[in-house]
Amino acid sequence: MICETRLSRLDRPTEVGRTKPLRAAVLDNLENEHEIVLKVSDGPECSIEGLANELIGSLLAADLGLPVCKPFLVRIDRDFLEAVTDPSLKMRLQNSCPVAFGSEHAGVQWRRWLPSDRLSRNQIDQAISVLAFDGFIGNSDRSPRNSNMLVKDQLWRLIDHESAFRFRMKLFPRCEPWSPGNLAMMCNYGADSEHIFAQQLSGKRELDLTPIRAQWADLSDVRLAQYDAVLPSEWDGVRPFITEALEHIKRVRDQIDHCIREVERVLS
């Protein structure tokens, strides 16, 4: 379900990203190397809760059939830390939880989605699923200003879910997509809350939301319990927040018809 690895190489900070992620490499239990983008708990807008949200968001997106980069749990060993020569980077790693989050580096041929990009006809259904996914988990961080989506030709990869599930920090409006009007901010054009696909989907006739109903309805309690089970013990301090996130996912699943009607309403 999740690949557990250890940090084997640090390359450099990535070119973009407010959380200052790092390019790195990890080794899995079979000594296979993976190129990743690494996020640690110490840094701008970083926290263990953010790392846990990244993990849960990646697992959920994949189970819903949405494209994500492969996630990793990354252990930062003390011996590796001692070998880091950059003082500021070493301090950042020392101040971080010894288990970090990584996602597979997509490759240099991928780029960020731009406001000038247009949806093709065969991308419409997936775009609706992405918009619903972000609305249902309270992720307001996929906007025209910051798409958090990689593109290669007609392919996509969703990245950066650390801002999702933080319901107690977003008291108004609290994320309740089963309530009429709750997702209206996704279509507030020009605002930070505008979703990257809102304008291109709004007003389109015959949008098919049937696959969304099936995707969410298929999420079992057993599967969601597995999300909780893969969290490392080093993240136990944020487990109450993850429990809240998983209960929210269950409520979306159980009220998926109401949630879909809200998506239809805001896009009408």
Do 173 and 262 lie in one domain? The reply is: yes
Per-residue model confidence (pLDDT) at position 18 = 67
pLDDT (0 to 100) of residue 17: 62
Q: Residue ranges of the chain with pLDDT lower than 50?
A: none
What DSSP letter does each residue of 196-240 carry, written as one string? TTHHHHTT-TT---HHHHHHHHT--HHHHHHHHHTS-GGGGGGHH
Kindly report the backbone phi and psi dihedral angles of residue 37, in degrees, each rounded to the nearest multiple of 5, phi listed first: -105, 120
pLDDT at 16: 64
Residues 206 and 249 in one domain: yes
Residue that finishes a domain, picked among 37, 69, 104: 104
Type of residue at 196: I
Q: Are residues 127 and 89 in the same domain?
A: no
Q: 144 and 71, same structural domain?
A: no
131 and 234 co-located in one domain: yes
Domain-terminating residue out of 38, 69, 104: 104
Q: Is the pTM of this model over 0.85?
A: yes
What confidence score (pLDDT) does residue 8 get?
Answer: 96
Nearest Cα to 34, choosing from 21, 42, 23, 50?
23
Question: Locate tokens 């999702």: which residue?
Answer: 164
Check whether residue 51 and residue 166 sit in a common domain. Answer: no
**C-alpha R_g of the chain:** 19
* The pLDDT of residue 228: 95
> What's the pLDDT at 170?
64
Claim to verify: residue 65 and residue 184 sit in the same structural domain: no
Same structural domain for residues 168 and 54? no
Does 139 share its domain with 88?
A: no
Same domain for 190 and 259? Answer: yes
Place of tokens 């996130």: 245
What single letter denotes the amino acid at residue 204?
K
pLDDT of res. 66: 98
Domain encompassing residue 228: 113-267
Query: Which residue, 221, 225, 226, 54, is CA-closest to 137?
Result: 54
The answer on 242 and 157 residing in a single domain is yes
| pLDDT tens string 91-140 | 999 999 999 999 999 998 999 999 999 999 999 999 999 999 999 999 99
Domain boundary among 87, 104, 121: 104
Which segments of the chain are extended strands (E)? 3-13, 22-27, 33-39, 71-75, 99-104, 111-112, 149-152, 155-158
CB neighbourhood size of 235 (10 A):
20
Same domain for 183 and 250, yes or no, is: yes
Our count of domains for the chain comes to 2
Question: What local confidence, expressed as pLDDT, does residue 123 receive?
Answer: 95
List phi, psi (to 5°) of 102.
Answer: -130, 155
